[in-house]
Structure 1
């Protein structure tokens, strides 16, 4: 109808102006997302297609992503009012942003380790060198660090997460200084499957290695 055509033209003009603007929303203290239109919308009688950038970057630091966005399509369905699809690029830039912001680095404090009775004596029973260094049991603290950007890959019904990092174990001495005991390099590959059960989105986790 003529009304439909007029609405479509006005909508396209509005969106064409919007493509020149940057739409940024802060996710949290560490990251922001650019959800600007990446192209003009495709207007059809039964539906409208909107392509958004979906680039996540460190808060206050809009840096170029090392990844390249690949085009994809949503299956042709019309049972619901709204369909949302997130590309692998969105998750890759999210991983890059949080890695750059240091979100994957953390310290497990002495108090937490002491609560679980983790001290140099426990590590000394496993690693003889630690036992030789620390005759008297000392409390410890752990420093966890991601050494590379976590890799997220999407599959048909699941996605995998590959993480490489290190764990440094430090003894907390009586004068409150710390002494590094050893560093353990770790690599993990995890698969996460998503299913809808009783109208709820459920996830199952499987550690591959």
Structure 2
């Protein structure tokens, strides 16, 4: 296996002997991504497929859903979809209870002085990969826990939200690596648990969407830009 990064590695193995024809050679490879140091077989089956006959280029390379499904499974297993955002790591603005107190009155009761806020995001299921003609989408089901960070450095859970994210990925090949760029298409939030009373989720959607767009997506794209080594 070849390392992709510190979380995953990829194994390319021949499914069958190379098929040699007069104008071309067919190599049937099975590409499987594993969490680093974990060779547990992914819960997917690699389905055979063919590449349409073309002759304008020297090399044609095709990937099936299986390759990307095993990638999703490997990174989910390795915890790559678990992200913590704090005041120190937030690039564009300070996340504090002040942001939420105008929308959720109970939050304002914690302190006259705003407390820093910590967000813990995690995928609750293996992200679902879907390859269609001219589209590559990833559906992510997850949760977001929102904590107030108290002066003694302990945390107090304010509320937990369910998140459903629809994303798309654009692929390209550069420097013998398969690279991707993630785009957030749609977000849905629902309140799972609250220690600060009931409130309208819709009032927080713009704030939370902005945090995901400015913190999570750029972080994911930085990792995707490192690329998957090709066989």
Global fold match (TM > 0.5): yes
- Quick check: 1:63 aligned with 2:40? yes
Give the alignment's Cα RMSD to 1 decimal: 2.4
Write the mapping of 1:1-209 to structure 2, written as runs, cut at 5 A. 24-113=1-90, 116-192=93-169, 205=183, 207-209=185-187
Flag structure 2 segments of 5+ consecutive residues without an equivalent: 173-178, 188-231
Residues in 1 aligned to 2:158 and 2:81: alpha-carbon distance in whole angstroms: 22
Q: Shift of the alpha carbon at 1:183?
A: 1.1
> Quick check: 1:118–1:139 contact (8 Å CA) kept in 2?
yes
Distance 1:202 1:136 in 2: 42
Deviates more, 1:169-178 or 1:93-102: 169-178
Q: What's the offset of the Cα at 1:128?
A: 2.6
Higher alpha-carbon deviation: 129-138 or 55-64:
129-138
Measured in 1, the distance between the counterparts of 2:25 and 2:109 equals 69
- Structure 1-normalised TM-score? 0.79
Q: What do the CA deviations read for 1:62-81 (whole angstroms, capped 9, x no partner)? A: 01111111111101011111
Question: What is the DSSP-based 3-state SS (H/G/I as helix, E as strand, rest coil) of the residue aligned with 2:29?
Answer: coil
How much does 1:39 deviate?
1.2
Residues paired across the two proteins, number: 182
Structure 2 CA distance, aligned partners of 1:165 and 1:202?
Answer: 21
Deviation of 1:137 (Å): 1.2
Higher strand share: 2
CA contact (8 A) 1:157 1:193 kept: no
Distance 1:86 1:126 in 2: 46
Task: Decide whether the 8 Å contact of 1:110 with 1:172 is kept in 2.
Answer: no
Name stretches of at least 5 consecutive residues in structure 1 with no aligned partner: 1-23, 196-200
Q: What SS does structure 2 have at the residue aligned with 1:138?
A: coil
Q: Which has the higher contact order (CA 8 A, sep 6+)?
A: 2
**Could you tell me how far apart the structure 2 residues matched to 1:79 and 1:42 are?**
20
Scaled by the length of structure 2, the TM-score of the pair is: 0.72
Deviation, 1:112, is 3.1
